[in-house]
Structure formats: structure tokens, C-alpha cells
Amino acid sequence: MKLEQLLNLVKENVELERKIFEFIDNYEGSGFGGKCGIFAIELNHYLGGIGEYYGAINKQIWELGEQWIGHVALKVGDSLYDSDGKIRDIEAFKAWGQVDEEGNEAELYNLTPEECYESEIINLSSLWGDRVEELIRTNTSCE
């Protein structure tokens, strides 16, 4: 790759990240408490639909056929973003898929304490395709 091409790529990435943080800084809604999906959808629309949606899920609940999502983030390039900004700790993002062993989900799904903490990150865009935004709205407490 020529130096000029490399510099243009770096410039485009810096501009894209500036645009993401501009959106985050000016976002008037909440990105947590069940609103993370709406935030990710609105950010993706703002960016022209270039991102992919990722979810932190509880493995056991998901395997039961329930599409419960603990947190949604938007992947743009090689980075994940939520309303706090760039997700730098992937394990902290993954932890959003855990459920409280004393909470409603543990009782509702009859989870052992160990199963409560089994979480994964999945690509919701690949899984759900054209229906991804609709299903994110349905399977988080978005609205």
C-alpha cells in the first residue's frame, strides 16, 4: 500500500470515529436500561448503515430458544461502540450477558448459579439478517 493510500485510510478512520463520538456526545436518549438497542440502531442510521449489531447474551437462556439480550453494541470497522463510547474491555461487554443468580431470569429459566454467568457475544446482524433491527427492538426492553 502506498503512503498516500495509507494516510487517506487513517484520515477516513479518524473522521469516522470523530463522527461516532459526535453522535454519542449529542445523544439525548439513554443507551442503557433496555435502551442500548435503540442507541445502536440510531447510531448505525446516523453512520449510513455501515455497522453490524452485536449482542451480549446468556448462553443458557439463548440455547433454550429465548432471544434474551443483555446488551447491544454497534461494530464499526474493528471496534464496538455503545453509548459510553468505544468498548475497550470485551470481557466487560460480554458480562452484560450474565444474569443475577438471585434475579428474575435465573428463576424464570431455572438456571444454576454457574449457568447465570455463562455469557457470549454474538453477531446479531449475521444471525438475523434483514430483520435485525426489528428483532433487536423486540428482544430488548427498547420500547
What is the domain range of residue 104? 3-139
Domain total for the chain? 1
Reply yes or no on whether the pLDDT at 5 is more than 90. Answer: no
Reply yes or no on whether the pLDDT at 68 is more than 60. Answer: yes
Average pLDDT of 97-105?
A: 92
- Cα distance between residue 79 and residue 52, in whole Å: 10
| DSSP character string of 50-106 | --EEEEEEEHHHHHTT----SEEEEEETTEEEETTEE---HHHHHHTT---TTSHHH
pLDDT recorded at residue 1: 66
